[in-house]
């Protein structure tokens, strides 16, 4: 993980659930989208790569015995609930696929990578390596934002997002190259926040993208959002790509 990303998540860790939990409705909706695609069964071995604070790992653990939770940020892993079903491993996705025995088991029926693939440097090699960790018939699900987002961010942030965000189609191609049967689908959830809450999230640099802007740029961006959204609430669709690969 690059130093900037590391610093971003170390700083954000204690605030992460507050920013990202949005609402129990959002978490329920997203968990449903993940579970419908991963089809986790009670006896399955499950791996969550880039698990962060375990927002989704803890829900996966309710369906199965235990979940191996991998993240390079010790601060994010510290926020995992104290639950023996969640097995923390401090590592990056890249570390997992170089062959060193970091994981407690060597095959998984389900692997989740939610909103972490954009941090991965060699995405083709990582998708290929994760595909090698799947048991026969196992599923790898990459959940990510599309390259264009409808968030009420300032213009420069939206443009930079489009420049930096990998294309879900490229992830699907990497899965096909790794021998998986790939399937790309999209789902969206309507979000609404009081404007002050959303501006607070932007000031906190709730997305890693916002860590690429300096203090003055964030302050100018907040003013731009205030000018554009003079109402009391911001409303937008949070649209996600779900790239699923199934092993033969």
Ligand X SMILES: C[S@@+](CC[C@H](N)C(=O)[O-])C[C@H]1O[C@@H](n2cnc3c(N)ncnc32)[C@H](O)[C@@H]1O
Interaction of residue 50 with ligand X, rule CB under 6 A: yes
Interaction of residue 68 with ligand X, rule CB under 6 A: no
Interaction of residue 120 with ligand X, rule CB under 6 A: yes
Long-range contacts from 207-214, C-beta under 8 angstroms, 24+ separation: 208/5, 208/8, 208/9, 208/118, 208/119, 209/157, 209/160, 209/161, 209/164, 210/157, 211/4, 211/5, 211/7, 211/8, 212/4, 212/160, 213/156, 213/157
Interaction with ligand X in 3-22: which residues (CB under 6 A)?
5, 9, 20
Q: Smaller CB distance to ligand X: residue 7 or 181?
A: 7
Nearest of 47, 45, 20, 52 to residue 191 by alpha carbon: 20
Binding piece for ligand X, criterion CB under 6 A, among 1-9, 21-29, 134-142, 233-241: 1-9
Q: Smaller CB distance to ligand X: residue 13 or 225?
A: 13
Phi-psi region of 140 (alpha: psi -120 to 50; beta: other; left: phi over 0): beta
Interaction of residue 205 with ligand X, rule CB under 6 A: no
How many residues bind ligand X, per CB under 6 A? 22
State the residues that interact with ligand X by CB under 6 A: 1, 5, 9, 20, 49-52, 55-56, 71-73, 76, 92-94, 114-116, 119-120
């Amino acid at each position: 993980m690059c130093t900037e990303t590391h610093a971003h998540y170390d700083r954000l860790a204690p605030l992460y659930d507050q920013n990202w939990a949005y609402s129990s409705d959002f978490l329920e909706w997203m968990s449903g989208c993940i579970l419908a695609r991963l089809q986790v069964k009670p006896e399955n071995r499950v791996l969550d790569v880039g698990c962060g604070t375990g927002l989704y790992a803890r829900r996966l653990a309710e369906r199965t015995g235990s979940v191996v939770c991998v993240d390079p940020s010790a601060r994010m892993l510290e926020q995992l609930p104290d639950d023996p079903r969640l097995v923390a491993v401090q590592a990056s996705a890249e570390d997992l696929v170089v062959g060193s025995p970091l994981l407690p088991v060597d095959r998984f029926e389900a692997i989740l990578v939610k909103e972490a693939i954009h941090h991965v440097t060699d995405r083709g090699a990582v998708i290929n390596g994760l595909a090698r960790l799947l048991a026969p018939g196992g599923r790898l699900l990459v959940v990510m934002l599309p390259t264009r987002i409808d968030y009420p961010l300032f213009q420069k942030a939206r443009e930079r997002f489009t420049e930096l965000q990998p294309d879900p189609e490229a992830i699907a191609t990497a899965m096909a190259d790794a021998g998986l049967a790939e399937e790309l689908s999209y789902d969206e959830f309507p979000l609404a926040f009081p404007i002050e809450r959303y501006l607070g999230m932007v000031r906190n640099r709730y997305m890693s993208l916002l860590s690429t802007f300096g203090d003055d740029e964030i302050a100018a961006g907040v003013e731009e959002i205030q000018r554009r959204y003079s109402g009391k609430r911001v409303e937008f669709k949070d649209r996600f790509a779900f790239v699923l690969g199934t092993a033969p």
